[in-house]
Each structure stands twice: as structure tokens, then as C-alpha cells.
Structure 1
């Protein structure tokens, strides 16, 4: 039987609640129980796939776990949860449609490094202030050239208004 009990603590019951997450990156902190649940379910899939298929790379046309794990690594600022997402991405070796787990892993690692830079030992999502959190993230990649670009918005410091767009190039 389907239960909504895990949704209740999220307090996102309206369009306004969702828009708060788009305008205020701190609003994503309310989703910690959901992010943790995604990690738990993805872990079951990755572990069973590794046991069944060995360490071979897998391809499927449908999106399965790569996009949700990347979303957790990108949106969740809890260091333990987001690093579990990155670890599962790295371990999965999957190509799901356009989502490649190795590219998603590299992009997620860059997002984490940018957001946590200069804050020392980040122990909770509260350690990363809103101004340090990046948003409007878009990942583009050239699989043959193994080059990707990460476009995102973020102020340069806590005193700046607005969120100018920045482009980071990476290889994998």
C-alpha cells in the first residue's frame, strides 16, 4: 500500500512551496528525509546490479538511478548524503539514455567542491549559506572528446546581489 508519510515533513504541498526551493536554495534542506530515502533505494539497485552483472558497464534507454542520484548530490547540501550519492554514481557504471554515471559523478564533485570551498570541515547543510549554494545548474558534455561544461549561477561572495552565470569546463 502506498503511503505518503515520508512526504509530510517536507512541507512542500503547494506550487508556492516548490517555488521557494527555486528561489531559496536553503529550502532544499527540508528534503533531507527524501534525499536519504533516494540514497537507500538507489543503493539497493546498485548493490544488486553489481552482484548480478559484476563490474561491467550497463546501458539502458530509460532513466533509472543516475539522474536522481545526481539530483541528490547537486541539491542536497548534507555532506554525508551527497557523498553517498557520488559514491553510488561512481560505483554504478551506468549509461541511462543521455545520463552517464561517470559524467554525473564528475559534475557532482565539482558542484560539491565549489559550494564547500572556504568553509573548512562541512558537517551539515547549515554550514553552507544560501549565497554559497549554486543554482540553475546545466551540464553539457561531449562524450567523444570527454569534455564537459557546467553552467551555474552563484554570487561571488555573500555581499553581492544577484547570481551571475559561471561556466566551468571539466574532463573525465
Structure 2
């Protein structure tokens, strides 16, 4: 396969200046506010997004250094396959967070419920439509007895450079 190149559409701004202490999932940052500042070339693309309550932020995990195919995730003490986790050190360090939209002003998208380090490159924004995401018979593997504690965990630096 050939190389794939993406250009960031903007930068995500949050109160988190380093990975330590960042909530490990958006649910842990439920009350944390931030904003995405888009390159002015992409401002027009924010049109009509204000009609949605939530959006996915898709971003480059720029502080991840390389990857491992087996990791010990934050919510476990057992080594797991990286694709069965949401660990940031992955073959393609892409992150996704579902945030609640507060406002759109010019080229800025203000939101709440963020788990991202300040200065993270933003690759894309997609509206959240629950009817499109609805699934039946969902299983969540090794997280089944741990998921209720996701908001209790903060990043501890195990996946950074």
C-alpha cells in the first residue's frame, strides 16, 4: 500500500497542556470545555453544524511515539491487542472524541466533553446522528465489567513520547 497524507483542518484547544491528567475518554471530561480553531479556508464547512447537538472530532495523536501491537490499557492490568483498545500508540495514531457542541463563532467550534491535549491537530469533524450509530446485540469484550469506571481514569503518560 502507498502512503496516505492528511493535512490538518485546524487545531484543538483545551485546558490540558500535557497528556498527564487528561481524561482517558470523553466521558471523563464531561464538563471540560474547549474549542477547535479551523484554518480560515475551512470555516465555510462549519455551516449547518449548529443544528446538531454533538459532533465527532477526528484528530492526529501527535504526541504518540511509535506503536506497539500489544498494550496494557488504562482500565486494565492485562496486555491487550492494540485494536481491542483505544490506546493512542497505534500504527495510525488517529483519535476520535464525541463532544457536545456549545457554539460556532467564525472559524471556531466551541464544545464541552473533551479528552484531548491542547494543540492537537484536527483532521475532521462529523455530526453525530444517533440513529446512524444504533446497533443491536452489542458486546464490549474485556471492558464489560470496567466501562462504568471510565470517568475515574486519567492519562498517566504510559503512551507518550
Q: What TM-score do you get using the length of structure 1 for normalisation? A: 0.23
Q: What TM-score do you get using the length of structure 2 for normalisation? A: 0.24
Higher percent of residues as strand: 2
